[in-house]
């Protein structure tokens, strides 16, 4: 059977997963009467809630007796490590672009990787049913992007399809059709067959799967020779060492699942069961004559956070896994499959430094651990600083903001305060398209401020460019916080009295402890307050004033918003049921001592 291997790449929200749904439905992967729902490939709860793809996934469909392996990739730059390696399994890419937004920073990042790997591109301009879309301008912008990324003559001659994944049609012109068959024919016509090379076995492990019955499963593309069940193989590791092993079971992808087979030949993707201690990037090779494939290189992390055990007074109330050994084992397990993540020990046995690609990358890890029953404390995110030629350098990002024209002044003001420099300003209909170069530090906490100042209208995206010289101090949060003085249950009486001091993160009746951050102060500087004081009862009634307690609902922060909100001396307590912000040093007197010693150090 002929094979085509294709990866789908696009910016967040341009419709990759919906396109995969349409391909699965067109090729009758599901029975006519089977309930499938939408976004079939986003199987993880976190992915469904956030509406983003986090883990790349494989599906295989058969069309006109040709097997098409489809790889759905994440669209967010924080998961670029995931995309880079799965592209190794593909021979062609579908670049999906929104007919209004056009190519975005993430499109550029992934497309560059695909062109370097000499993959054949097919451009699909999606959402042409949207009002004020501009498919022809977008097509020209995509061509320009290919040209800027040094595409070859052959790659520049890309086929283009137009359509709407939501309405279920794609065609090589703007005329709507009944279905997506023109695109399916295009995949078979334009994507080359995998290059089949004779010789001994070579298969690079590009992703992992895990099954509670079979253990860790290696996934990759057979680039040379063939692989059989019970075959003796050599596992060539990234450091050059070779381990002998045996293939217990072999699977190929079929529909949304896998089918067990006896042999997989060159060009197909497969899942191998039975290997011990393998890592992503290792090569499965011939037992007698092992030859390794080039090691996969993944972009370096740009941010770090301290993960430590939960040491608050409410320690152990919610979580199953609370010790430093649990925390360490879980983080080490994560580094096996999450290539862009690094974990280092610190001076303290209870804390670990975790390096990642950005706030979302680290936030998803914390959220996943929390749902698995872990309790932990995370510090505020720090960018990684390098010393180059004796000078301090920091990571810089390219920031793109699309915003209605009336808010563009506010956006420029916000970004320049954070040491961003404007590079491009152009109109897209009623929207203003702005591009900046900004230190990665400047992005921490920017999204929430930007949405507040633009009435939620701004659409922002960013990608890492390179390390450049340090830009100097960047102003942090303007306001201080209100900190609880005592442990206890908050009362409506005391919150009502404190409401004019700030906006609260808690409701009456919640348990708090000394040192917990319970509100944002309306002024700079922190304030210690008593939120657990009950009303003194007397046998005199104050006429008319007893029932006048009016409490504003609390501000709800997501985990990422908390990570962007906290300052140097603060951290977040994360448990399966709650997320609380707190001071790292809980005792008020101890905090004052620390502040005094830091002041004297600064003067000295």
Given CA atoms 351, 464, 91, 70 in this order, what sign does their dihedral have? positive
Which one-letter DSSP state was computed for residue 558?
-
Show binding-site residues: 13-18, 126-129
Q: Could you tell me if 60 and 3 are in contact, meaning their C-beta atoms sit under 8 angstroms apart?
A: no
Burial class, 550, CB count within 10 angstroms (exposed 0-12 / middle 13-18 / buried 19+): exposed
In 157-221, which residue ranges form alpha helices assigned H by DSSP? 181-190
pLDDT at 575: 92
Show binding-site residues for GTP: 13-18, 126-129
Angle between helices 408-417 and 446-453 (to 10 degrees): 150
pTM of the model: 0.73
Rounded Cα distance, 453 and 470, in Å: 27
- Three-state SS at 355: strand
Rounded Cα distance, 383 and 576, in Å: 27
Tell me the HSE value of 122 on the side-chain side, using a 13 A CA sphere.
Answer: 27
Q: Rounded to an integer, what is the distance from CA 487 to the centroid of its chain? A: 36
Rounded Cα distance, 218 and 209, in Å: 7
pLDDT at 51: 46
Q: Rounded to an integer, what is the distance from CA 563 to the centroid of its chain? A: 14
pLDDT at 543: 52
Domains of the chain and CATH, by start: 2-190 (3.40.50.300), 202-286 (2.40.30.10), 386-469 (3.30.70.240), 481-563+585-603 (2.40.50.250)
Q: Could you tell me if 391 and 459 are in contact, meaning their C-beta atoms sit under 8 angstroms apart?
A: no
pLDDT at 38: 42
- Three-state SS at 233: strand
**DSSP percent split of the chain into helix, strand, coil, nearest 5:** 25, 35, 40
- Three-state SS at 88: helix
pLDDT in tens, 364-384: 889 889 888 999 999 988 888
Rounded Cα distance, 574 and 377, in Å: 6
- Three-state SS at 215: strand
Structure tokens at 210: 């895990």
Apex 252 CA angle, 248 and 254, nearest 5? 140
pLDDT at 307: 92
pLDDT averages per 10-residue partition of the chain, 604 residues: 84 72 73 42 46 59 86 64 74 87 74 85 87 85 87 88 85 84 88 81 80 79 86 84 86 81 85 82 84 75 88 88 90 78 88 86 86 90 86 87 88 90 84 88 82 81 83 82 92 89 90 92 90 79 60 85 86 92 90 85 73
First to last CA, the chain: 75
pLDDT at 30: 47
Structure tokens at 350: 């209870």
Q: Which long-range contacts (CB under 8 A, 24 or more apart) does 312-317 make?
A: 312/377, 312/513, 312/516, 312/573, 312/580, 312/582, 312/586, 313/487, 313/513, 313/514, 313/586, 314/511, 314/513, 314/573, 314/575, 315/375, 316/375, 317/575
């Amino acid at each position: 059977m002929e094979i085509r291997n294709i990866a789908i790449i696009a910016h967040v929200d341009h419709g990759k997963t919906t396109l995969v749904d349409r391909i699965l439905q067109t090729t009758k992967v599901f029975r006519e009467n089977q309930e499938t729902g939408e976004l079939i490939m986003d199987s993880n709860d976190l992915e469904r809630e956030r509406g983003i793809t986090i883990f790349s996934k494989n599906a295989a469909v058969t069309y006109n007796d040709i097997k098409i392996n489809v790889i759905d990739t994440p669209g967010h730059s924080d998961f670029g490590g995931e995309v880079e390696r799965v592209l190794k399994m593909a021979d062609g890419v579908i670049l999906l672009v929104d007919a209004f937004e056009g190519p975005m920073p993430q499109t550029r990042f992934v497309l560059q990787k695909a062109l370097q790997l000499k993959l054949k591109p097919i451009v699909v301009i999606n959402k042409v049913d949207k009002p004020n879309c501009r498919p022809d301008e977008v097509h020209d912008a995509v061509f320009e992007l290919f040209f800027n990324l040094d595409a070859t003559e052959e790659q520049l001659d890309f086929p283009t399809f137009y359509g709407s994944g939501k309405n279920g049609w794609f065609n090589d012109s703007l005329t709507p059709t009944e279905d997506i068959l023109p695109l399916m024919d295009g995949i078979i016509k334009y994507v080359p067959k995998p290059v089949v090379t004779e010789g001994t076995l070579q298969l690079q492990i590009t992703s992992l799967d895990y099954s509670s019955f079979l253990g860790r499963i290696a996934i990759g593309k057979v680039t040379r020779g063939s692989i059989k069940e019970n075959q003796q193989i050599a596992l060539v590791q990234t450091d050059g060492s070779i381990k002998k092993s045996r293939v217990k079971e072999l699977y190929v992808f079929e529909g949304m699942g896998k089918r067990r087979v006896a042999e997989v030949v060159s060009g197909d993707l497969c899942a191998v069961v039975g290997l011990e201690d393998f890592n992503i990037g290792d090569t499965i090779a011939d037992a007698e004559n092992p030859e390794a494939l080039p090691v996969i290189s993944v972009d370096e992390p740009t941010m770090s956070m301290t993960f430590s055990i939960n040491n608050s007074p409410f320690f152990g109330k919610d979580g199953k896994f609370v010790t430093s050994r649990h925390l360490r084992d879980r983080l080490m397990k994560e580094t096996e499959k999450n290539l862009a993540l690094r974990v280092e020990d610190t001076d303290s046995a209870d804390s670990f430094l975790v390096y990642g690609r950005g706030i979302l990358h680290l936030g998803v890890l914390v959220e996943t651990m929390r749902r698995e029953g872990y309790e932990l404390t995370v510090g505020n995110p720090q960018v990684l600083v390098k010393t180059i030629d004796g000078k301090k350098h920091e990571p810089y990002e390219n920031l793109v903001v699309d915003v209605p024209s009336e808010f563009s002044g506010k956006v420029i003001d916000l970004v320049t305060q954070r040491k961003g420099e404007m590079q491009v300003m152009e109109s897209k209909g009623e929207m203003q398209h702005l591009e900046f170069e900004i230190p990665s530090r400047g992005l921490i906490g920017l999204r929430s401020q930007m949405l507040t100042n633009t009435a939620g209208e701004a659409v922002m995206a960013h990608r890492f460019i390179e390390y450049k010289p340090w830009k100097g101090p960047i102003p942090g949060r303007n306001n201080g916080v209100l900190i609880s003085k005592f442990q206890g249950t908050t009362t409506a009486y005391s919150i009502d009295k404190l409401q004019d001091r700030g906006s609260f993160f808690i409701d009456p009746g919640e348990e708090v402890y000394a040192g917990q951050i319970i509100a944002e102060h309306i002024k700079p500087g922190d304030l210690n307050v008593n939120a657990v004081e009950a009303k003194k009862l007397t046998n005199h009634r104050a006429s008319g004033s007893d029932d006048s307690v009016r409490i504003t609902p609390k501000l709800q922060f997501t985990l990422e918003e908390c990570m962007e909100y906290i300052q140097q001396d603060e951290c977040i307590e994360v448990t399966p049921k709650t997320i609380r912000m707190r001071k790292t040093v809980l005792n008020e007197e101890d905090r004052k001592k620390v502040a005094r010693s830091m002041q004297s150090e600064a003067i000295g």
